[in-house]
Amino acid sequence: MHDLVIRGGTLVDGTGGEPFEGDVAMDGGRIAAVGRVAARGREEIDARGRLVTPGFVDVHTHFDGQVTWDPLLTPSCWHGVTTVVMGNCGVGFAPARPEERAYLIGLMEGVEDIPGTALAEGIEWAWESFPEYLDALARRRTAIDVGAQIAHGPLRFYVMGERGASNEPARADDVARMAALVREAVAAGALGFSTSRTIVHRAITGEPVPGTFAAEDELFGIGRALGGLGAGIFELAPAGALGEDLAAPEREVDWMRRLSRETRRPITFALNQNDVDPSLWRRLLERVDEAAAEGADLRPQVGSRATTLLIGHQTFHPFQYKPSHAPLADLPLPERVARLRDPALRARLLAEAPRFDDPRLMVVHTLIANRLDRVYPLGDPPDYEPGPEDSIAAMAAREGRDPFDVLYDRLLEQEGRALLMLAILNYSDGDLEPVRTMLEHPRSAFGLGDAGAHCGAICDASMTTFLLTHWARDRRRGPKLPLARAVRKMTRETAELYGLRDRGLLAPGKKADANVIDFDALALEAPVMVRDLPAGGRRLVQRARGYEATIVSGVVTMRHGEPTGALPGRLVRGAQP
C-alpha cells in the first residue's frame, strides 16, 4: 500500500511533453510510480478531470525574515509553490552581529517595501553567521521547502562596516574575507550569492544597497569562491535593469559572461522591458546567446506579466498628497470614501497642487500624472493585459473629461476598494508580447514574483498562477503558451537552475511535491490589503481559486486554498542530486 495515490488525473509532468492520463503514487516523501497504479493508497485523491503538476519552484522570493514567524509562507502556499528560494537582490539578514540588525531591517524595508516595524517585531534572531542562519531555518517546520542565498548587502556590512554601507571600494583583504564567508555559506548549504547593482534599490535612508558600485575585483573575487567549490549560483539585479542607466546593461552582461565563463557557474539576472529603451531586452537576449556560444551560462530571469504599481485607497493615490486630504488620512475606509464623495471636497482635491514631504513621493506622483495612458482599472477578476482603450486617458478622451476627474471617480468604485494598475515595466507596447518572447527564450528563467516583498503597492507573488490562467488558457490579445511549456517553466527549469534536480518532475524517485488543479476553475482573486504582519503591519495579498490540493514531500499541505496544518517543509541545503 502506498502512502498517497493521486488517481486518474491529467498529468503535466514538468518535462514539457504532452499531458497524459494517469496516477501518481507517493511513498516516504518520494514519487514511487507514475502511470497506472494498481495498489491502493492510505490516502487517495480523485483527480479525474483535474490537472496534476509538479509543485512549483519559485526562485525569486524575499521571505528571509518572514520565514522565522510564518510557517505557511503566505502568499506562496496559495499559488501552488512547494519550494522557494530567498536571499535575492543583495538583501537578507545574515551574517549579522546583534548591533547590525537594525541596519539590515532598514535595508530590507527600503529595497523590498516590507514594513520595518513588522521585521523588527517578527524576526526571531538566533544567528550571527550564515551557517547559523541556515541552522536556525533547519530547526523550523514550514508548509513548503526553503532555500537561501547569501546576500551582498549584509555580507559587505558585516565585513566592512560603515565603509561597506557607504559603498566605499573594497580593499583586497575585504574581498578575501567576503569570499571566505561565501565559501563557508555555500559549504553549509547556501544555494548561491546575490547582489544588487541598480541605483533604484536603496535602504530606507535613501542610500544605495551595499555593493551597488562594487568593482570587478570584488565581484570576481566573490564569484571565484563559487567557482572554487563548483557550487552555487550568482544572482543579481543588474545596473540599468529599470531603465535608469541605458549604458549599463551591455556593460553588465560583458562582465557576467566573463565571470561565468571563468568560474563555470550560472549567473541569473533580472530582465524586463523598460519604457526608456523598449527594445533593450531583445539586444540583451542576443548577448546571452552569444555568451552561451562562448561557454558562459547566463540565465535572464523574467516574470509572467507587467510589473505594476497598484493605485487605490487601500494603497496610495495622487490625491493623498493634496492638502485637503490630510484630515482624511487616518479615517476608516468607509468614512473616508463617504467624505470623498462630497462635491465640494472633490472640487478642492481636483484643483489643489500636491505637496510632498519626501522627494520620492514626487517621483511617483509625476509618474502617474505623466502616464495616465498606462493606468488601467485592474478589475475583479483582474485583467493584467488591458488594451489601450481601457486606460484612464482613453476613457477621459471618450467622455470629454479631464483624466484626473475620471481617475478620482474610478478610485471610489467598489466602496473605495477598487485598484488601478500603473504598468511600469514590460508594457511599453501596450501588451505582453515582449513577455511572451522572453518566456519562450530557451535560456530564460521564470521568476521575479518577489513573494514576501513589496507589501504596499506591488502584488506579484501570484505570477505562478497567472502563468497558467493567462498564458496557457485565457489570453486573447496574442498567442498563448502550451500548457506543458508553462508548467515546465516553473517546475523542472527553475529547479534545475538552482541545482535542485530532486524535484520539478512527476517521475519515480523525485521528491513528492505536486498540485492537483481544477484548471477550468483556476482564477486569481483581486488583491486586497490586510493587516496580518507583526506589529499590525499592512501588506497586499492575492489569493487564487482552483488549487484542490498541494502536496509537499507526499503530505497534503493545502486543500482548496486552506492549510491542513501539516508542515512537512524543510530547509534545502545546497544542490540536490
Is position 145 within any domain?
yes
- Mean of the pLDDT values across residues 564-575? 98
- On whether both 88 and 221 belong to a single domain, the answer is yes
Instruction: Give kind and range of the element (H or E) at residue 44.
Output: strand 41-46
Q: Which of 425, 456, 475 is the last residue of a domain?
A: 425
List strand residue ranges (DSSP E) for 205-359, in order: 233-237, 267-270, 298-302, 307-311
pLDDT by residue (tens digit) across 518-532? Answer: 999 999 999 999 999
Is position 512 within any domain?
no
Cite the DSSP H helix spans in 26-98: none
Domain holding 77, by residue range, is: 56-305+432-497
Is position 552 within any domain?
yes
What is the pLDDT at residue 369?
A: 86
- On whether both 149 and 276 belong to a single domain, the answer is yes
- On whether both 324 and 464 belong to a single domain, the answer is no
Is position 452 within any domain?
yes
Q: Which of 384, 409, 425 is the last residue of a domain?
A: 425
Q: Is pLDDT at 135 greater than 80 in this prediction?
A: yes
Cell numbers describing residue 60: 525569486
Is position 572 within any domain?
no
Query: Cα 363–366–371 angle (5° rounding)?
Result: 125
- On whether both 30 and 78 belong to a single domain, the answer is no
- On whether both 24 and 98 belong to a single domain, the answer is no
- On whether both 299 and 339 belong to a single domain, the answer is no
What 3-state DSSP class applies to 450? coil
- Mean of the pLDDT values across residues 125-130? 98
pLDDT by residue (tens digit) across 341-350? Answer: 999 999 999 9
- Name residue 508's amino acid: P
- On whether both 131 and 252 belong to a single domain, the answer is yes
- On whether both 166 and 258 belong to a single domain, the answer is yes
- On whether both 67 and 177 belong to a single domain, the answer is yes
Instruction: Give kind and range of the element (H or E) at residue 4.
Output: strand 2-11
- On whether both 338 and 487 belong to a single domain, the answer is no
Which CATH number goes with the domain that contains 525? 2.30.40.10
Q: How far apart are CA 220 and CA 260, in angstroms?
A: 10
- On whether both 259 and 273 belong to a single domain, the answer is yes
Is position 27 within any domain?
yes
The candidate with the shortest Cα–Cα distance to 388, out of 404, 406, 403, 375, is 375
- On whether both 71 and 24 belong to a single domain, the answer is no
Q: Of 109-123, 155-169, 234-248, 269-283, which gets the smallest average pLDDT?
A: 234-248
Give φ, ψ of 43 to 5 degrees.
-130, 140
Rounded to two decimals, the pTM is 0.97
The candidate with the shortest Cα–Cα distance to 559, out of 33, 46, 42, 60, is 46
Is position 95 within any domain?
yes
End-to-end Cα distance, the chain: 27
- Strand partners of residue 237: 196
Q: Which of 406, 425, 444 is the last residue of a domain?
A: 425
333-340 and 343-351 helices, crossing angle to 10°: 80
Domain count, the chain: 3
pLDDT by residue (tens digit) across 15-30? Answer: 999 999 999 999 999 9
The candidate with the shortest Cα–Cα distance to 457, out of 355, 340, 318, is 318
Is position 574 within any domain?
no
* Residue 128 buriedness (CB in 10 A; 0-12 / 13-18 / 19+): middle
